[in-house]
Amino acid sequence: MRRTSFAHWPCSVARTMDLLGDWWTPLVLREAFYGIRQFDAFQASLGIARNTLADRLRRLVDEGLLEKEPYQTEPVRYHYTLTEKGRDFFSVLLAMSRWGDRWLADEAGPPVAHYHDVCGQESHAEVVCAACGEPMTAENTHPRMGPGYPPHLAERPEVRERFSS
């Protein structure tokens, strides 16, 4: 079955989902943030099929989120390390974790706590405005066309209505 590509859609959410592709990819990245670097360690930690893991690691390397560095020659084995692009995904994982902690945790509470090294406190992700620092919510935020929105789509009536405010 062919998968629909969202890589060229005028939407950063769609483009991000095109890159992530499935539920394994964010989990592979999560393990990389937990310090996992070797193929066998990813496989053991996630219980993922080796061929699926190989595909996800290859995609993350090809897309520049991970770097593949040899650490052994006979046989050749690699470390996978986060790049700047990969490290920047951390905020996405924290936001997903925050939502899951709020809506999916059981009576025992969240399964993982995040501590901020700068202040030493347990904390969680918050989405705030970069300009004023106030929380951004669905009630107080709306989309507008950005400079990268395709001009040929911007003229469509349904698009103009969606972005008018």
Q: For 12-87, which CATH class?
A: mainly alpha
Sequence spans of domains, the chain: 12-87, 90-123
Quick: pLDDT tens for 93-150.
999 999 999 999 999 999 999 999 999 999 999 999 999 999 999 999 998 989 998 8
What is the residue-averaged pLDDT of the chain?
Answer: 92
Of 89, 98, 103, give the one whose Cα is nearest residue 126: 98
Quick: pLDDT tens for 20-42.
878 899 999 999 999 999 999 99
Q: Which residue has the higher pLDDT, 119 or 162?
A: 119
The highest-confidence range among 8-22, 49-63, 140-154, by mean pLDDT, is 49-63
Residues 76-84 have a mean pLDDT of 96
Q: Please report which residue ranges of the chain form alpha helices under DSSP H.
A: 12-20, 24-33, 39-46, 50-62, 84-87, 90-103, 151-154, 157-162
Angstrom distance (rounded) from CA 11 to CA 33: 26
Q: Which amino acid is at 40?
A: D
DSSP state of 135: B
pLDDT at residue 165, as a whole number: 62
pTM listed for this prediction: 0.86
Contacts of residues 73-81 at CB distance under 8 Å and 24 or more positions apart, as own/partner, are: 77/38, 77/39, 78/38, 78/39, 79/37, 79/38, 80/32, 80/37, 80/38, 80/39, 80/42, 81/32, 81/37
